[in-house]
Chain A
Amino acid sequence: MSAASVPMSTPSETSSTTQSSVSPLAWSVRREIWEHRSIYIAPLVAAGLVLFGFLIRVFRVSETMKLLTQLKGDEQHMAVMIPFAIAAVAICVTGLIVAFFYCLGALYNERRDRSILFWKSLPVSNTTVVLSKAAIPFVVLPAVLFAVILATHLIMLGLGSMALAAIGQNAGLVWESWPFFKMSVVILYMIVAATLWYAPIWGWVLFVSSWARSMAILWAVLPPLGLCLAERIATDTNFFGGLLDYRLNGFLKEAFYFRDHGKDIGDPLALLAPAHYLATPGLWAGLVVGAGLIAGAIWLRRSREAI
């Protein structure tokens, strides 16, 4: 043909090139993080907002202290703890929203923009692809949330103790109220417990993402809600509604001892109930359902075409 391009190598050279070791799963997870930068940006933004609010509180430290001094020991500790707890909850809720929308698009968007044909042209199995996508809500996001919460708390502790020192108060108050290392263990435990508890939710959304031909969000949300409503209308009972509520909030009840702490905070690690949690049938049932739905998503991706 034309002499416009010069051959770059002969076939013999090509075949002698080193065959690099490949790791499809690791690269596929990296690919997901490249595509979905909200995985780390959204928690960071949430942390930024929390810190901004906390900064304002720090500048009003003398007023805050006036209020605090009116409180007794434990109530004082509680009042100091609240912003830390809010920070953790805000970042976790952001993470849940990110995980939901991530899962919703994970196996749907690649079909809609036809890029699935490119991914399928590479020797990466459907199992690897779907597991790499499941790794985001199950591994990557929990790790990101834990790291961001820890960093946020450290900054808050630093700012809080500096502000107290600046007005001549006991800078150790914040560290006493929020024992950083113990609370980090509590937060890690909570994140792991929630992640495992939400397995069927992530599995369901990934499954819908792989199955839906359009409006994935409706398919993900309406069937569970519709089931609850239909049951309500038909039998005036609330079995499915209770099930849904238990799935959304149940891990708090099953994984922690909240019942008898009263006003006494005591050792935060005493709140953890891992043995009870591991013996909760709902945990294992959820994991089985989640695994089944992910297996379904893998099976669907095999035969699903671009839409």
Chain B
Amino acid sequence: MACIEAHGLHKNFGSTVALDRVDLKVESGRILGLIGPNGAGKSTLLNAVLGLIPYDGELSVLGQNPWQSRDQLMRDVCFIADVAVLPRWMRVWQAVDYVAGVHPRFDRAKADAFLAKTQIKRNSKVRELSKGMVTQLHLALIMAIDAKLLVLDEPTLGLDLLYRKQFYDTLLNDYFDHSRTIVVTTHQVEEIQQILTDMMFINHGRIVLDCSMEDFETRYSEVVVRPENVAQARALKPINERQVIGRTVMLFDRADREKLAALGEVRTPSIADLFVAVMTTNTSQGAAA
């Protein structure tokens, strides 16, 4: 069974179309990066998945309708919406006690063990903690929940590099196993490239690219074109061309790697470069692959 499945998922806010008849399928055991510019519809999509907003079209999360059966669904779904949402008046022990008191799948020992590795004091209020510590606390709570789907919407926004790195390392080492599914959005694409199994680009409420990381690596090639080969390379219709310190770098979709190798150094592009290419070409790439 797919973890998330949508057909014709649609959402308007007034006259603004936030989600434009989206079809998507996320299998269980994947780590999906949902990538898009501000206002592309990422948060709307996640809010629909989490049952926070009503929507048109079909959407099934873990086999349930998230708007209708939100209460049951939340036993198996966790999310971190933003670093700033833990209530500021709450003390650390109160947060742990409360989640333990209401969540049937919460393992207090696990949360305590994680908190013991941090500088967080049990009697501190959330407002007294640094931004990084608040995220650590939130992560400690979330990771102690045996959930099937974890949704992270900009979980590391405003954190410094050390906390960001630690966040994703912990998530991958201590939490992820192949029975869980993680959906993450972030602007720091390059930092999560290594942990993703799938990626999805979203723009103007549409999925403009949906592929697994394996497909991504075989499908897209980036070539540092030697100056004498530029015209020849352009003939192969790159999807993007840019100048990097005086050299021409072109991005190709489904091009013959052997042909490309004759033009210059071939490598796998970063998600960030592909993202820029896809967003600037302004063509609908279609939800291929």
Contacts and interface: CB of A to CB of B under 8 A. Distances in A.
Do A and B interact with each other, yes or no?
Answer: yes
A121 B80 contact: yes
Interface string A111-138: 0011111101111110000000000000
Interface stretch (A1-9, A43-51, A220-228): A1-9
B239 interface: no
Nearest to A10: B177
Given A5-B174, A121-B81, A22 B110 contact: no
Contact of B103 (A17, A123, A303): A123
Given A22-B102, A31-B98, A35-B89, A114 B84 contact: yes
Contact of B78 (A4, A21, A121): A121
A69 interface: no
B114 A8 contact: yes
B194 A118 contact: no
A34 interface: yes
Interface stretch (B19-27, B163-171, B216-224, B230-238): B163-171
B86 interface: yes
Interface in B148-162: none
Contacts of B108: 20
Chain A interface helix/strand/loop/mixed: loop
A11 B179 contact: yes
Nearest to B171: A1
Interface residues of B, number: 54
B149 to A, nearest CB: 12
Interface in A79-126: 110, 113-118, 120-125
B64 to A, nearest CB: 13
Contacts of B98: 27, 30-31
Given A5-B169, A5-B173, 14 more contacts: A4-B169, A5-B117, A7-B173, A7-B174, A8-B110, A8-B113, A22-B103, A22-B104, A35-B90, A115-B86, A115-B87, A118-B86, A125-B71, A303-B54
Interface of B: 50, 52-54, 70-72, 74-75, 78-82, 84-91, 94, 97-110, 113-114, 117, 138, 146, 165-166, 168-170, 172-174, 177, 179, 194-195
